[in-house]
Structure 1
Amino acid sequence: MNERIWATTNTGFMWHAFTEDGEGPALCHSRIYARTFARMNDDFRTREGAESPLTARCERCVAKFEALLAEATVKHTPAPTENAVDAPTFTEQARVRYAVIGKGKRVHYSPSNDDGLCGRAITAYLDVEDAVALFDKGYELCAPCHRAAEKRAEARHLADASPLAAAAVEVAETVEQADREREAALDRLVAEVAQLHTEADALLADTREAAVEADQLADEIAAWGAEVDAITEQHVVEGLVVAHADTAEGCAPSDATHPDVAAAREALVGLAAATLTDHHDYSEPSDDERTVRGYVIDPRGHGLVALYWLEEGKNVRRDELPHGPALDCLAWTMERSGWEVERMLRSSQCVFAHRPVEDAAPAELPAGDEQAVAEDVEAVGTWRDGWLKAAPEPTLFSLGEDVEQGALFV
């Protein structure tokens, strides 16, 4: 086949392939002819010479030319002789199979990896009889596949002649197989990533819907809470025990509304109150209760309360230093507020105080005391009045009746 069939046209800088005599149309189109100068002076070139920095070859003409070249190569291949009956065929030498791609009119070569040597994915494999039948119907051989098959066959021939070349061919095939496996793994990875993106989008959509529902529920709860607050508005009352989340200040939550507790809190205003639960054990507090500190009011009924002082969640004894004197402070504070405090022992762990009776009638004075009061009244403005005013105050911790404190524990 004459390869000097390339020339430009009169109006362009594109190289086209024409018939061997140059008089016919271009291979790509029936209305494109070579420029007049090329036809008159036989100024045709080969495929390699038909290109310059300012021009390029027609891609359709290149494809047609390669197909014709491959067809001519197949036609001029000598027929096998009787001595070469057992010689391997071309497909066996190149280790390829016939195949077709889509509905195209070409027969391709494939190394049995579901891809043609031209790089396209094949549709089906063909045996020799099917390939011959397609050639008889006018099918052409894919030129890129044929050139690649020739290179493979030549490499096989060199490998058979040289162990080093055989090793090189084996390495090349291993690399090709690795590339194919890598591409397959990448395809699977891309599919998995796409699936993860889809699942993530669905999860994000569900999360957004849940957030919207949560916002709506929060608005409803806020509106309901505002209505409840408007109906049950709470007022802070002096002396009332304040309870929060199953805890109370200065007493157990179950005693928060006891009237004796409220009265005792009024007397202890300004002192630290312990934050308690109904399960607080004064003798053996838990780890969570060891941060509790302050006084505790334990109502005993009939106006009697027991006052404890907690340090690190545990009640202290009167003789325990340095916190034992806190019980004396509680007793003194209660006496100043008019409470009657019982006498404590050194080992006492609490202060017993009786609530003052506000509605009780004043006590009658004995006969001797009435005379003493009259004399005190007469002494107003005299030296005796000054002496009485200078008399010392009662002791800091006045004791009540000599009552054994242990008798109160029944």
Structure 2
Amino acid sequence: MDSSYLRISLSFLFWALLLSPAVSQSSSCSSQTFSGVKSYPHCLDLPDLKAILHYSYDASNTTLAVVFSAPPSKPGGWIAWAINPKSTGMAGSQALVASKDPSTGVASVTTLNIVSYSSLVPSKLSFDVWDVKAEEAANDGGALRIFAKVKVPADLAASGKVNQVWQVGPGVSNGRIQAHDFSGPNLNSVGSLDLTGTTPGVPVSGGGGAGNSRIHKRNIHGILNAVSWGLLFPIGAMIARYMRIFESADPAWFYLHVSCQFSAYVIGVAGWATGLKLGSESKGIQYNTHRNIGICLFSIATLQMFAMLLRPRKDHKFRFVWNIYHHGVGYSILILGIINVFKGLSILNPKHTYKTAYIAVIGTLGGITLLLEVVTWVIVLKRKSAKSTKPLKA
């Protein structure tokens, strides 16, 4: 099979899979009922964690009444809804956290001032909140609900919007909430809440805001790195190893190899840069293994590019040493690149189809590699046998 055709086909397949839209969760906002006679004219099916928000807003006294509902990530877990007065993420937000007492089964609410991702301080919030209670939602799969009224700060009331954050977690231990997952939905659960809402009784979109922007950047980061380290570099290596065995392919194989690897490096650098940008915008969230492998990949791939400029002639005394270096670094890039693509997929936590597709693509490349390896050795052994049987010249 023509290598350039294979490269284009596989890249197109993977790009198409990653860019295909995910199926959104079904709306359940309007079907909810709960205790009390209070009316909440606005209802949001929030885009992540199966969360729902009912609310009403009285502009005359800047009072926001909310009912937040979500299932904890595990039985006995917790849910949280928060307003961040100054930013769009969890750090700095003022949170209401609901959980059930394991001994009594009674749900209650704790208020937290989230100073940073590692500092959760039970305390009064920076604004007034009252009529706070929690309950377990009947016939709703173990979901919990938080009821509260919030005095919206004057500057936020004037803007007509507040930054909301919501979250779910696995449990409570010794009065302290256990850390939530750091998968895609947990990191994307932020948005802007329009206090005035829309037509009463009509469900509206949760609005991704900064969350949607982060999702977009993370998807770009994942696509660039998957195509670079996970596809183009392996294909470039296959071109160099198996095309060069055919004398008619010289020097075409070399230019194809260089073009493929250089393209992979450029795309990989773009992916690495988007990763740095994401890291700078996600204070307190770290994926050390993924980050460290990425830094290592960028470093050794840069050295590999410079090594191409210093490539000795075939008859040079240092060509043997250069070959060892070039091949060793090249295979290191292949192994680390594929490992880091899988690390990235586990962080992005996309639909299972995407991971399956990448496994299928890598498996296909692996199968082609084994086949070409056998063909290559057959050709090499035949050539050696032909040379050994040639009669010696007198």
> What TM-score, normalized by structure 1, do the two folds share?
0.20
* Structure (1 or 2) with the greater helix fraction: 2
What's the TM-score once normalised by structure 2's chain length?
0.20
Structure ranking higher on relative contact order (CA contacts 8 Å, 6+ apart): 2
- Asked which structure has the greater CA Rg, the reply is 1
The structure in which a higher percent of residues are strand is 2
